[in-house]
Structure 1
Amino acid sequence: MARGNRVAGIVASALLFGAVSGGTMVGVNVLADQHRSEIVASVNELTGQGQKESTSPIQKTVAKDNNDSSSEKTTTSGEESVSKIAKEAMPSVVSITNTIKYQQNGFSLYGQGQTQEAAASGSGVIIGENDNELLIVTNKHVVEDSTSLSVQFVDGKSYDAKIKGTDSDADLAVIAVPLDSISADTKKSITTATFGDSDALSVGDQVVAIGNALGYGQSVTTGIISAKDRDIQTENGSETGLLQTDAAINPGNSGGALLNMQGELIGINVAKYSDTTVEGMGYSIPAKKVQEIVETLSKRDTREKVKDDERGYIGIQGKTVDSSIAEAYNMPQGIYVYKILKGDGIDNSALQEKDIITKFDGQGVRSLEDLVSLISGYKAGEKVEVTVKRLSAKGQYEEKTVEVTLGKNSTDNN
């Protein structure tokens, strides 16, 4: 510390002497050169500069002198600038376009109740590949009700994608693009995201969000972790364990990347849960939870909707137990089975009336629409596991997984 004060005194003396007397005497230049040599030698001795190689993992940044040792701030060498993180992460983030068909109510020049198409935008993150497919994680609500999906990569080229698996409980989905459909140039331009440790985050840590905001293309925002383990209420129920950030997360950012300052993926952004009535409250699904779910979804077979005459049916009449019903009657969310139906080839004997279906073939479902959408990719005769919550003799719901054989439909029900 004494040596540091000595160096600081030398610097101050040199500056003062130069400011007052600079240019008035030839001897000043000689004296200044002597001081400069002494300063350089002392500073090099203190900081280790001038050595051939530095082994210190810490980079130091000296702030303006406030006569306080706390003005010297340090950052780990592993942290990057926002611009560098964005540049390196952009190749792993994609834009997703979901084409949806919907029924328009009322009358038009062409008759009553016309079917229309609309395009919705979202984002996704490349997480890996298997032998045949490039795998991308996004939000389930980004790809729901899809009639077709396309993915645009960082080079601006778009390719068709298919849904590989979804989880309504977590609002996550994995979609796949066939590797043989992707050009060599596009393959060179893209990268795979590296997962970081979302548990290691602290409130106040800086983060970077990247996504297809408002469908205009990839954009970058930055902020901090405002809170961890946030539980919030949405129209579809409660979402738990979310990261809260003040980085701007707008419509179209859903499914995009939340990155730490090492450029690692620590969350999947969920614009759907962002509050439009206030500023600075966005949410992200932590990477730890994402990894656990996509690990399972990535191993699934990629399914397409089957023809109506081949489609399998589970043989139930059900009703959606949404968040309001679940809260009012202390029930789990899912599909309430109020009638068991029979059909050609259907074996649903393991199901019981009053069961609440929460998963179909390992994929979380929260509504009858979720279940119908999933079953549309399965053929009659296939055996699937169905997870239900069932009332016990003690009046408590217990989780059970049963096997059901899908059959052909003899009614208009699932």
Structure 2
Amino acid sequence: MTMSTRKTTLFYALLIAVASLAVGMVLASRLDLTPASSAQTINVPATNSAPITGPLSADTFRNIAKSVTPSVVNIRTEMKAKSNDLTEFFGGRGTTPDDLFHRFFGNPGQQEDQDQRGGNRRGGRPQREPKTSAAGTGFVISKDGFILTNNHVVEDATKIEVYLYGDDETPYTAKVIGKDQLTDSALIELVDKPKGALPEVKFGDSAQMAPGDWVMAIGNPFGYRHTVTVGVVSAVGRAFPVTNGRNNDMIQTDAAINPGNSGGPLLNVRGEVIGMNTAIITNSQTEGNIGIGFAVPINTIHDLLPQLRTGKITRGRIGVSVIAVPREAYQDFGLKERKGAVVAQVPSSGPAAKAGIEPGDVIVEYNGRPIANNDELVKMVVATRPGTSVPVKVLRNRQEKTFNVTVEELDLEAEQQATGSGRRNQEPDTQQPEEQGANGFGLTLENLTSQLSRRLRLPSGQSGAIVTDVDPDGPSAGALRQGDVILSVNGRSVSNASEAQRELQKVQSGHLAQLRVWRGDNETFVPVRKE
């Protein structure tokens, strides 16, 4: 009996221990009590900043190609077909920046998709969801299967296949680890991995590159895998429009790059990656290379790699839109030299508005550092950790003021949606009383009616003068547009067209009219120089 009791006790003790372990595992999985994984790390390639010296030889580029080509991969993606014609974006048939500065990877599966859709109609089979396929390039940065490419190569992809050098028949499945729209970069990882370590690239220092330096591009243009082209750096620091109001400094090159090169490496004469080929300019006659290509500097991507590995890029914003200080008459702001960033818009819910910054302010210092231009300010802000309180010094009516602004996290998608929502048609009504010509500015102004105020969504009680015509050859061209409502001129509010005309006449020739206008859903600052 004692023996049986002991056995029973031992059995229940063991049962309780197993049950406790099981419950503990369930709780740990539910409450994230297990130790944090250390898998989300990546060995960021070191940057070689040693000066590039020595002469070129007859086999310099041959040796580079032989050394680096095995690290370059071909990427094929599959995605759901969008309702709009993709060639309008990847082509160049229009005149928008996306048509001129378009991303470039081919659509080798497009005809297949068309055939499938036709077959479905003819055979009466259930219609399958239309898909499109594309191709691009990437390069291995880690022996265990991490690859860099362009965001637009893998964006919205439902399937990613990677083909390695020397093996055009075996696709290796890959997945997106992290991506960034502003730098158009993406980090992917091979899910299916080959036997043995992968050959990886080396990073050079893109800050060392200068116009005239030799460079090599390797990629898969038009499906011709591991094509090598050579050229020079045409320019550095080219401001390239990425999204509305945001630019990325690029390396410009004349090394031939074409559809399919996107995401491939741009190399220095040591065979080190100094850029990632991203975009080209085309014309109406050709979709291919005309000698103007752009690459994202590798230093920019290098700094982002740890964040790409975690899958989230964190940037700061202060809630202002800024424009360049006018080249002429900048003294009208109280500036001694043409430096700073002019605040054009301040959304009411943003950090800058809460701190007291207004349209028309000129930001001259950010966090104690002087501002050379508007692009420099944007770079400083996005590099600031969200939650940080920074002093922002401005010039307002020629007087210095300092505001403490708490930086928020940048939500790029929300920002673009907000920008797009303000682009509604602002054509004025055709019948309006009291037309006024603003001589010296190339403007025609009319009174603002209550009906038009509602249509343009002006704040209740707000009055002004609406712009009904802009002389395309006048000083206001490109600054003001039809449908803008002028609210004030040089700090003086205007309630109708005649008041706006009177204030504009007070501006001396060669000086600025500092205007606050209602455009879209926001108040915007617009400086215009009088002829």
Q: Distance in 1 between matches of 2:258 and 2:388?
A: 35
Match of 2:130 in 1: 116
Match of 1:93 in 2: 72
Residues 286, 116 of structure 1: alpha-carbon distance in 2 compared, 3 angstrom cutoff? same
Residues 331, 217 of structure 1: alpha-carbon distance in 2 compared, 3 angstrom cutoff? farther
Match of 1:170 in 2: 183
Instruction: Kindly indicate whether residue 183 of structure 2 is the aligned counterpart of residue 136 of structure 1.
Output: no
The one-letter code of the counterpart of 1:162 is K
Q: Deviations over 1:314-342 (max 9, x none)?
A: xxxxxxx999xxxxx9469xxx999xxxx
Q: Of 296, 300, 303, which aligns to 1:289?
A: 300
Residues 322, 94 of structure 1: alpha-carbon distance in 2 compared, 3 angstrom cutoff? farther
Match of 1:276 in 2: 282
Determine if contact 1:236/1:322 at 8 Å carries over to the other structure. Answer: no
Determine if contact 1:80/1:263 at 8 Å carries over to the other structure. Answer: no
Question: How far 1:191 moved relative to its partner?
Answer: 1.0
* Runs of 5+ unmatched residues, structure 2: 1-52, 86-116, 284-288, 313-319, 323-342, 355-384, 393-401, 411-531
RMSD of the TM alignment (CA)?
A: 4.3
Q: Deviations over 1:94-147 (max 9, x none)?
A: 111110112558998479996311111111111115xxx511011111100110
Residues 322, 389 of structure 1: alpha-carbon distance in 2 compared, 3 angstrom cutoff? farther
Q: Distance in 1 between matches of 2:229 and 2:321?
A: 34
Matching of residues 10-409 of structure 1 within 5 Å: 75-76=54-55, 81-104=60-83, 109=121, 115-129=129-143, 133-156=144-167, 157-178=170-191, 181-184=192-195, 187=196, 190-233=198-241, 238-271=246-279, 274-277=280-283, 279-298=290-309, 300=310, 330=344, 399-401=407-409
Residues 146, 224 of structure 1: alpha-carbon distance in 2 compared, 3 angstrom cutoff? same
Q: Distance in 1 between matches of 2:127 and 2:282?
A: 32
Q: Determine helix, strand or coil for the equivalent of 2:218.
A: strand
Figure out how many residues of one structure are paired with residues of the other and give that number.
248
Q: Determine helix, strand or coil for the equivalent of 1:141.
A: helix
State the percentage of identical aligned residues: 33
Q: Deviations over 1:36-60 (max 9, x none)?
A: xxxxxxxxxxxxxxxxxxxxxxxxx
Q: Determine helix, strand or coil for the equivalent of 2:64.
A: helix
Determine if contact 1:224/1:247 at 8 Å carries over to the other structure. Answer: yes
Residues 155, 237 of structure 1: alpha-carbon distance in 2 compared, 3 angstrom cutoff? farther
Q: Deviations over 1:251-298 (max 9, x none)?
A: 111110000011011111103xx1012821100011111111123212
Q: Distance in 2 between matches of 1:243 and 1:141?
A: 18
Question: How far 1:248 moved relative to its partner?
Answer: 1.1
Q: Distance in 1 between matches of 2:268 and 2:275?
A: 9
Question: How far 1:199 moved relative to its partner?
Answer: 1.0
Given the two structures, how large is their TM-score scaled by the length of structure 2?
A: 0.41
Q: Distance in 1 between matches of 2:238 and 2:68?
A: 26
The one-letter code of the counterpart of 2:227 is S
Question: How far 1:399 moved relative to its partner?
Answer: 2.7
Determine if contact 1:249/1:270 at 8 Å carries over to the other structure. Answer: no
The one-letter code of the counterpart of 1:275 is I
Q: Determine helix, strand or coil for the equivalent of 1:115.
A: coil
Determine if contact 1:231/1:238 at 8 Å carries over to the other structure. Answer: no
Determine if contact 1:138/1:268 at 8 Å carries over to the other structure. Answer: yes
Question: How far 1:246 moved relative to its partner?
Answer: 0.4
Q: Determine helix, strand or coil for the equivalent of 2:247.
A: strand
Residues 240, 301 of structure 1: alpha-carbon distance in 2 compared, 3 angstrom cutoff? closer
Q: Distance in 1 between matches of 2:298 and 2:172?
A: 26
The one-letter code of the counterpart of 1:287 is I
Determine if contact 2:145/2:193 at 8 Å carries over to the other structure. Answer: no
Determine if contact 1:208/1:223 at 8 Å carries over to the other structure. Answer: yes
Residues 112, 235 of structure 1: alpha-carbon distance in 2 compared, 3 angstrom cutoff? farther
Match of 1:3 in 2: none
Q: Distance in 2 between matches of 1:105 and 1:240?
A: 27
The one-letter code of the counterpart of 1:87 is K
Question: How far 1:79 moved relative to its partner?
Answer: 10
Determine if contact 2:234/2:252 at 8 Å carries over to the other structure. Answer: yes
The one-letter code of the counterpart of 1:222 is V
Determine if contact 2:250/2:294 at 8 Å carries over to the other structure. Answer: yes
Match of 2:499 in 1: none
Q: Deviations over 1:200-237 (max 9, x none)?
A: 11210100000111233221111000001110235666
Question: How far 1:397 moved relative to its partner?
Answer: 7.8
* Runs of 5+ unmatched residues, structure 1: 1-73, 303-320, 324-328, 339-351, 353-385, 403-414
Q: Determine helix, strand or coil for the equivalent of 1:270.
A: strand
Q: Determine helix, strand or coil for the equivalent of 2:81.
A: strand
Q: Determine helix, strand or coil for the equivalent of 2:188.
A: strand
